[in-house]
Structures are given as C-alpha cells and as structure tokens.
Amino acid sequence: MAEEKKIPYKIYLNEEEIPKQWYNVRADMKNKPAPLADPATGNPLPAEALNVVFCEELVKQELDNDTAYIDIPEEIQDFYKMYRPSPVVRAYCLEKALGTPAKIYYKFEGNNTSGSHKLNSAIVQAYYAKKQGLKGVTTETGAGQWGTALSMACAYFNLDCKVYMVKVSYEQKPFRREVMRTYGASVVPSPSMDTEVGRKINAEHPGTTGSLGCAISEAVEVAVTNPGYRYVLGSVLNQVLLHQSVIGLEAKAALDKYGVKPDIVIGCAGGGSNLGGLISPFVGEMLRGENDYRIIAVEPASCPSLTRGKFAYDFCDTGMICPIAKMYTLGSNFIPSANHAGGLRYHGMSPVVSQLYHDGLIEATSVEQTAVFEAATKFARTEGILPAPESSHAIKVAIDEAMKCKETGEEKTILFGLTGTGYFDLVAYEKFNNGVMTDYIPTDEELQASFDKLPKF
C-alpha cells in the first residue's frame, strides 16, 4: 500500500503553476444568473449601455455566460507573481487546540499590502482600463480594503484613482486612507458635496456618516460625467467572481497534489466575490456531476442577505443610478448596524452566488459578531495570523464544523477561505477585548420595511 504523503504545514504551488486562465462557473450553470437590467424598464442592459459605466473588456466578461476558461493576460500573470501563489495552510495547530479529528485547511489571501483577496480583481480592472486608454477609474470603499487594492493596481499601471470612502470609515480608519494616498489615489469622504447625488443625500440626511450604497452612487456619477473615466467595483459583479476564481483554482491544484478532497468548503460572504472565487472549481465539478461537496456561505447576523433576504431585482446603490441586479437582497434602503466586518455590510449578494444558493448547490448560515471575534482570537493564538473580522466569519463556522467532528469522531476535511488580515481593525478587537462588543440582529419588521421599497415592474 502506498504510504500516505505527509501534508506540509503550507502547500505552495510553483510560480509556473499559477493559473493561466480564469474559470467561469457560469458556463456550467444550468440556470444562469439573471442579467443586469435597466432600473427604468426592467429590461436587460446591452453591452453598449454598460460600456458607459464600465470598461469594455470587463463588460464582455460580465455578459459572457458561456466561455468556461478565459485567458489571463500575461501582464496580469506577471503582477500575480509578485504575491501569488498564495499558500494553502494545514491548520495543524488549530486542530490540536480543538482536539478535533477533522482536517482543517485554509487558503490565505492576506499576503499583500491591501491585506485581502481584492487585489486579484483590482489589478485586472486597472489593466483593462489602461488598455482602453482611459485616464482613470472611480470607485467606492467601505472598510478600505478594496480602495487600497485598487490604489495599488492603479499605481502599477499609472492610472488616476478616485476613491469615495464611506465617511465613518474615512474618519475612523485614517491609516487605511493614508495607505491609499501613498499609492497615489485621491480619497474623498462620502457623501461629499462634489456630486449631485452626494449633495442630495447630504440635504436629505444632514450629518449622515454615509454607506456603501451612497458611495457607489457618487463614484458612478463621477465616472459617467468625466470623459476618460469608468467605474470599477470590488465585488458582486460576475467579472469579479471570474477574476477571484484564481483563489479556488490554486486551492484545488494544491490539494490535488496531495490527493486531498475537501468534504466542506467554507467562505465568508459580503458581496460574494471571495466565496464565489474559492468555490468555483468545486461547484463546477458538482454542476458537471463529477463530485460532491458541502459548501457553506457565512454572513453576519446583522446583514443576512442570503439567509433572510429576498431573491429579487434590486438597486445596487442608494442613489438608484446603477443598473439593477437580481440577487438575494435586504433592500437598497437597508442600512446595517455598525458591525465591525465592514466588508460584509452590503445589502445584496452576487447574482452568481444568489443563483447557486437558490438552486440548492450551496448552503448559507449567519453568525453573531461576538462569537466571530471569539473564533478570531482562538485562530490568532493558535495559527499566528491576526485575521480580518470578515474572514473570521468563515473561521467561526470552520471551528463549529470541526467541533461537530469531535462529537461524532468523523475525520472530515474542511477548507475555508482566510481572506485577509486584521491589522486595520484593531478598534474592533479593542471593543471585543474590553467586553463592549454588541450583537445587533435586525427585526422582521425592519427587514419588511426595507423589502416594501424593492423596485416593482
């Protein structure tokens, strides 16, 4: 009998093994995600209409439901080599601390200055903007990871980068802001007085500290009213999930080297991009009837779009100037409580992830903030990495599943996505350490009030 290969703590691929193509899971989906639509009519938007807002090549990717593998341009492969491949880590120390027979692996995406997986898509979007001959791009950022990733990508391709940062984060996270400015981006607190929509929101809600939905509206307005600019988005869109498939492809290739097949794949879900990217190749096998996995999306109890939202067309932004998307949503009017996982505070969910969930291919669960930070602390003390609050949602459920294995004695293999590091989230850790962190869960009445305002056609 062949001796079982000892699994190293870290499984790295070689540089040549970094994927040269992204995998487009939509090609294997029987029920395709619904197309982006015109908020005025509810009709699908053609490429020409989307090209006003987004870069042309990215619109092609957005609308392509058929091509399974799309080549990664060489310039992007070169950039990926600066910080990829990212390791798959066997969490031996966590397993030991838990006393579980489960085998836990995580794919670590925090090993770049942005501190998250978002750089995987930022560099692609900046590349296509540059190729189109644009002057620059605009975007929003909440907690700041996406804005940082995009600033890095724009610096690399020498593009102007204008970031509308949710005002409360701009004030509370000055360090993140300075990283962006160091990479050359201009950072504006949102809602600002620079845009029509910003002035309107400020007039209607004096003293507001902003939201992602408002910041998106501002960034889109600036992109469509300034020649040579387009808007880019760090999550939710089909194209972003496509770029993030590099996470899942690398993870699967690394595990395949050692003949490891995960039973459970877990990811945190804000807009759905890291989860969608991580699970893509696994879901592809499920869709083609080749293999079976249990896949779990984890969201905060304070912003539970999959577990308590409606599957409906909704606005992506508060100002209602973006195309509408069919997704699990809490309503574009829903303002989640100030939980500390900024990257998970979006009212909607990627149409691809939403469709997979609707079709029963993936599960979803929600977890409360205090329990998430307990899991984060356990992970930091055993595995050494200080995890981002967003990532810690996945850690929490991975630990829960491992503890179930301890009860049953099952040796399940668990893979989860560790999307980033928490160095800029120390105010949240401070609250947790001082015992003053709260768990807010919206009531059914609050959600209903928001659902009542969903667009109707």
In the complex, the residues that contact ligand PLP under the rule CB under 6 A are: 116, 118, 145, 235, 268-275, 343-344, 388, 390-391, 419-420
For the CB of residue 208, give the shortest distance to ligand PLP in the complex, in Å. Answer: 22
- In the complex with ligand PLP, the residue whose CB is nearer, 142 or 202, is 142
CA dihedral 97, 98, 103, 107 (to 10 degrees): -70
Instruction: Tell me the angle at which helices 238-257 and 119-131 cross, rounded to the nearest 10 degrees.
Output: 130
Q: Is the Cβ–Cβ distance between 121 and 277 less than 8 Å? A: no
- In the complex with ligand PLP, the residue whose CB is nearer, 235 or 332, is 235
For the CB of residue 180, give the shortest distance to ligand PLP in the complex, in Å. Answer: 14
- In the complex with ligand PLP, the residue whose CB is nearer, 100 or 125, is 125
- In the complex with ligand PLP, the residue whose CB is nearer, 314 or 390, is 390
Q: Is the Cβ–Cβ distance between 173 and 181 less than 8 Å? A: no
The rounded distance, in Å, linking the Cα atoms of 29 and 356 is: 8
How long is the chain?
Answer: 457
For the CB of residue 329, give the shortest distance to ligand PLP in the complex, in Å. Answer: 14
For the CB of residue 144, give the shortest distance to ligand PLP in the complex, in Å. Answer: 8
The rounded distance, in Å, linking the Cα atoms of 283 and 269 is: 16
The rounded distance, in Å, linking the Cα atoms of 216 and 321 is: 9
- In the complex with ligand PLP, the residue whose CB is nearer, 195 or 239, is 239
For the CB of residue 169, give the shortest distance to ligand PLP in the complex, in Å. Answer: 12
Q: Is the Cβ–Cβ distance between 214 and 203 less than 8 Å? A: no
For the CB of residue 417, give the shortest distance to ligand PLP in the complex, in Å. Answer: 8
Q: Which two tokens stand for residue 198?
A: 């910003």
- In the complex with ligand PLP, the residue whose CB is nearer, 234 or 405, is 234
Q: Is the Cβ–Cβ distance between 127 and 73 less than 8 Å? A: yes
For the CB of residue 368, give the shortest distance to ligand PLP in the complex, in Å. Answer: 17
- In the complex with ligand PLP, the residue whose CB is nearer, 112 or 391, is 391
- In the complex with ligand PLP, the residue whose CB is nearer, 150 or 405, is 150
For the CB of residue 237, give the shortest distance to ligand PLP in the complex, in Å. Answer: 10
- In the complex with ligand PLP, the residue whose CB is nearer, 134 or 399, is 399
- In the complex with ligand PLP, the residue whose CB is nearer, 284 or 343, is 343
For the CB of residue 245, give the shortest distance to ligand PLP in the complex, in Å. Answer: 13
For the CB of residue 278, give the shortest distance to ligand PLP in the complex, in Å. Answer: 9
- In the complex with ligand PLP, the residue whose CB is nearer, 299 or 401, is 299
- In the complex with ligand PLP, the residue whose CB is nearer, 260 or 325, is 325
Alpha carbons within 13 A on the beta-carbon side of 68:
9
> Under 8 Å CB-to-CB from 433, ≥6 apart: which residues?
none
Task: Please name the residue that has the structure tokens 């790295």.
Answer: 12
The rounded distance, in Å, linking the Cα atoms of 17 and 11 is: 12
For the CB of residue 233, give the shortest distance to ligand PLP in the complex, in Å. Answer: 10
For the CB of residue 390, give the shortest distance to ligand PLP in the complex, in Å. Answer: 3
